[in-house]
């Protein structure tokens, strides 16, 4: 089963993807994580996208489609793929459909995590994550059990993203509404969209996603 998690920055895509990875053995493909990895390893592409990311704008379709194309080749078998933060434009959505068809894969569900903008400032400014295993935390809603130590892997390498500021969030939200939110209508028109209340507590969001995936699981299992 291959699915997309759709929603603005801070909606909870990475958090819920992490749960699906643990529970269902799915593979999380986050273009944001891939781009940050390219930056920190200092590749030519990483250097090229750094300024764009720092400004909270979208990097080119060509770059992220290339990343997903490559990542999908290593993603055969297992519990399927979670697209997290991709697609973010209609061109990316069309390219994803083409890639999946070419590789003999299906898109089984698109989950929109619907949230109010008001909640996002707190979500984004309180976010930190483990630099080693990627577990996502929040100062107030999901602190680590032991201060400074990752619950999942025990690492003390906890980090905050440079772009997780109120100012950058404003720009990233603008990009979301201009370029990404049309995908809600796009996937609704394709009969693939399920809307989940992303403002609910994490466990409730998890349960709602599970319920929304049931029909897709059935279809994927039948095919
Ligand atoms: P995204 O990947 O969509 O940008 P994240 O999963 O990183 O969002 O979540 C953003 C922040 O909000 C993180 O600090 C996370 O711990 C917190 N968070 C995620 N889901 C919820 C929730 N349902 N309720 C409260 N806080 C949440
Ligand atoms: P994220 O980790 O999803 O919040 O993404 C962080 C940043 O990476 C974004 O603000 C964009 O600059 C860039 N980015 C991530 N995914 C995409 C995408 N699919 N298309 C364009 N830019 C992206």
Q: Hey, which of 53, 69, 85 would you mutate to test ligand 2's pocket, going by the most ligand atoms within 8 Å of its Cβ?
A: 85
Find, among 11, 59, 88, 56, the residue nearest to 168 by Cα: 56
* Strand spans (E) along 31-171: 81-84, 109-114, 127-130, 136-138, 158-159
Q: Is 64 in the pocket of ligand 2 (CB under 6 A)?
A: yes
Q: Would you say 83 and 7 are in contact if contact means Cβ atoms under 8 Å apart?
A: no
Does residue 110 surpass a pLDDT of 90?
Answer: yes
- Summary mean pLDDT of the chain: 95
Q: Is 86 in the pocket of ligand 2 (CB under 6 A)?
A: yes
Phi first, then psi, for residue 8 (nearest 5°) are: -70, 170
Predicted confidence at residue 216, as pLDDT, reads: 81
Predicted confidence at residue 171, as pLDDT, reads: 96
pLDDT range class, residue 221, cuts 50, 70, 90:
low
Chain position carrying tokens 């920190």: 40
> What's the half-sphere exposure (Cβ side, CA atoms, 13 Å) at 173?
17
Chain position carrying tokens 């992490």: 18
Using the mean position of ligand 1's atoms as its centre, give its distance from the Cα of residue 164 in Å: 12
| Average pLDDT of the segment spanning 121-128 | 97
Predicted confidence at residue 75, as pLDDT, reads: 80
pTM of the model: 0.96
C-alpha dihedral sign at 142, 146, 150, 153:
negative
Ligand lying nearest the CA atom of residue 58: 2
Q: Hey, which of 11, 35, 124, 164 would you mutate to test ligand 2's pocket, going by the most ligand atoms within 8 Å of its Cβ?
A: 35
pLDDT range class, residue 47, cuts 50, 70, 90:
very high
Predicted confidence at residue 35, as pLDDT, reads: 97
Residues of 175-194 as b/e, b for ≥16 C-beta within 10 angstroms? bbeebbbebbebbeeeebbb
| Digit-coded pLDDT (tens) for 150-183 | 999 999 999 999 999 999 999 999 999 999 999 9
Using the mean position of ligand 2's atoms as its centre, give its distance from the Cα of residue 202 in Å: 23
CB-based contacts of 160, cutoff 8 Å, min separation 6: 127, 128
pLDDT range class, residue 223, cuts 50, 70, 90:
low
Angle at 209 between CA 208 and CA 212, to 5 degrees: 90
Predicted confidence at residue 217, as pLDDT, reads: 79
List the catalytic residues.
Answer: 13, 88, 127, 161, 172
C-alpha dihedral sign at 132, 136, 140, 145:
negative
| Digit-coded pLDDT (tens) for 15-32 | 999 999 999 999 999 999
């Amino acid at each position: 089963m291959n699915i997309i998690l759709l929603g603005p920055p801070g909606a909870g895509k990475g958090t819920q993807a992490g749960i699906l990875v643990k529970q269902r053995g799915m593979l999380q493909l986050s273009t944001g994580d891939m781009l940050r990895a390219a930056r920190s390893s200092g590749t030519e592409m990483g250097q090229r996208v750094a300024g764009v990311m720092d400004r909270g704008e979208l990097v080119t379709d060509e770059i992220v489609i290339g990343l997903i194309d490559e990542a999908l080749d290593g993603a055969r078998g297992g519990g399927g793929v979670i697209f997290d933060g991709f697609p973010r434009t209609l061109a990316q959505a069309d390219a994803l459909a083409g890639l999946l068809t070419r590789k003999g894969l299906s898109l089984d569900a698109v989950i929109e995590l619907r949230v109010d903008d008001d909640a996002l400032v707190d979500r984004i400014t309180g976010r930190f994550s483990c630099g080693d295993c990627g577990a996502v935390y929040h100062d107030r809603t999901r602190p680590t059990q032991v201060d400074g130590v990752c619950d999942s892997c025990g690492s003390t390498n906890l980090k905050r993203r440079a772009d997780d500021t109120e100012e950058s969030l404003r720009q990233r939200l603008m990009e979301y509404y201009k370029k990404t939110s049309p995908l809600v209508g796009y996937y609704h028109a394709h009969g693939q969209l399920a809307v989940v209340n992303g403002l609910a507590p994490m466990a409730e969001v998890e349960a709602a996603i599970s319920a929304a995936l049931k029909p897709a699981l059935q279809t994927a299992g039948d095919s």
